[in-house]
Amino acid sequence: MSSQPIKIFFTGATGYIGGSILTGLLQHPNASNFQITALVRGDDTRVKKLTSVGVHPLIGDNDSHDVIEQATSESDVVIHTANSADDLPSAKAILSGLDKRTKSTKKPVIYIHTSGTGVLTEDVRGKKGSSTVYHDLDPDQINGLSEEQMHRSIDLLIINSAQANPLLKTVIVLPPLIYGLGTGLFNQTSIQLPTLIRAALKRGKVETIGAGQSTWDHVHVADLVDAYLILFDALLAVYGPSAKSDAKPNPYLTTGREGYYFAENGRHSWRQLAEKTAEVLFKKGAIQSANVTPFPDDEVEDALLGAFSWLALGSQSNCKAERIRQLGWKPHRPSLFDSVEEQVDASIKQSKN
């Protein structure tokens, strides 16, 4: 790779996923060649910390559409992780800026967008769902999803924009439940497992939505970062500013309408996760019994994540991450169940602060 700087615009640098990916970029063998601009709210502590690691802070948030559009119009690569799956206006601003970039340079731009396997969910409320498993080597199957599915409106905007502009090289990364402690400078905690643990600590017992029979996939955050970096490197090699004119992509490196990348490394039922959590909490004396019981339906939303609880901890979402594995992804971090104790310890410590 030549010394031509790679201009990267990054959102979510202070978040769990984004912060961990940013750490991965800063540790990249070619990091000295990256010019990273990160969108960040105007907090002096955050600004100083990002500056100290060589990241240029750009003051704003997802509602700063003009700021986002301008920054992306000056970038070779955009990595969007800040509420990216559900914030349509910010995605529109990014796509508008990248469209301007291609018109001015006549060269490809790269957009790595973070969606999620929430788009696959069946709202079964803890009951066993269908046998459907989505495969990213079958983009037609994914493109058959209803427009009403969570995240889908933004995913459609992205693939339609790429179809309209051949120089816009978009990929959509769809993580499932993410576990493990993050490596970012700020938030290092995920959502689903910590929510289950906090509810148990507060209520004195571990509970499931319904029978907990529905299943989700999962991935360790460090393995997820590896997937992003593999995609980043592969896309740069073919579409980056220093790419050779005769560079040919790996046949599994697809973009636009076929550019979906799941990132799972295992599957669990919500009951299995609850039982492991109960085992660990009971062993540590944090709860009086390792028995797992169902939440009363009228207490689910108050105990967990409001109206989102049913999908976050009671739905079904199953997929296979085949495409990223064909690009060399080899997840190897501790399993979800082996990571429960680490997360329990972190949650207990947080509850005492």
The sheet carrying 215-220 orders its strands as: 177-179, 215-220, 267-269
70-89, pLDDT tens digit by residue? Answer: 999 999 999 999 999 999 99
263-287, pLDDT tens digit by residue? Answer: 999 999 999 999 999 999 999 999 9
Average pLDDT for residues 143-147, to the nearest whole number? 97
> Are the CB atoms for 82 and 96 separated by under 8 Å?
no
Both tokens assigned to 48 = 């100083």
Domain boundaries of the chain, sorted by first residue: 6-352
309-327, pLDDT tens digit by residue? Answer: 999 999 999 999 999 999 9
**Alpha-carbon 193 to chain mean position:** 15
Per-residue model confidence (pLDDT) at position 2? 46
pLDDT band of 3, cuts 50, 70, 90: low
List the beta strands (DSSP E) in 295-333: 319-320
Of 308, 314, 318, 311, the closest CA to residue 274 belongs to 314
Average pLDDT for residues 14-23, to the nearest whole number? 98
Q: Using CA atoms, how far apart are residues 290 and 157, in angstroms rounded to an integer?
A: 46
Per-residue model confidence (pLDDT) at position 110? 98
Q: Tell me the CATH architecture of domain 6-352.
A: 3-Layer(aba) Sandwich (3.40)
> Are the CB atoms for 97 and 182 separated by under 8 Å?
no
Angle at 37 between CA 34 and CA 39, to 5 degrees: 150
327-337, pLDDT tens digit by residue? Answer: 999 999 999 99
Per-residue model confidence (pLDDT) at position 353? 76
Average pLDDT for residues 257-266, to the nearest whole number? 98
CB neighbour burial string for 201-233, b if at least 16 within 10 angstroms, e if fewer: beeebbbbbbebbbbbbbbbbbbbbbbbbbbbb
